[in-house]
């Protein structure tokens, strides 16, 4: 199954630090089947890219603890959107 994964750049991480996963989402052609669905996917992707850029600019010891929650929120929203699309289809 195809997936979109947005992580912080592992090359810019401190030694021994793992990259942060900001978005990991399974995608299907239905996610691009309408302008609205495609727009939602692009919006989630934009949030994740922005969060990844912010995480890379912030030293690890200062990274806000809300980043994992933000990623989880985006993932929950994506799951809810998929469920609505499945029910509508």
The count of domains in the chain is: 1
Q: Which residue shows structure tokens 């997936």?
A: 3
Higher pLDDT among residues 18 and 29, named by residue: 29
Is the residue at 3 inside a domain? no
pTM of the complete model: 0.58
**pLDDT at residue 38 in the model:** 93
Full residue range of the structural domain in which residue 74 is found: 22-88
- Side-chain half-sphere of 77: how many Cα atoms within 13 Å? 16
Is the residue at 52 inside a domain? yes
Q: Find the range with the poorest average confidence among 12-16, 19-23, 73-77.
A: 73-77
Higher pLDDT among residues 62 and 83, named by residue: 83
- Which pLDDT tens digit goes with each residue over 20-30? 888 899 999 99
* Alpha-carbon distance values, 3 to 13, 25, 27, 31, 45 (Å): 23, 5, 5, 12, 12
Is the residue at 12 inside a domain? no
Does residue 35 carry a pLDDT above 60?
A: yes
């Amino acid at each position: 199954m195809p997936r979109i994964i947005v992580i912080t750049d592992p090359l810019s991480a401190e030694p021994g630090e793992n990259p942060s996963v900001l978005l990991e989402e399974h995608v299907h052609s239905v996610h691009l089947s309408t302008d609205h669905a495609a727009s939602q996917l692009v919006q989630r992707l934009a949030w994740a890219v922005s969060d990844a850029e912010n995480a890379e600019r912030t030293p690890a010891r200062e990274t806000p603890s809300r980043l994992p929650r933000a990623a989880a929120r985006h993932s929950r929203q994506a799951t809810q959107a998929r469920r609505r699309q499945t029910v509508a289809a």
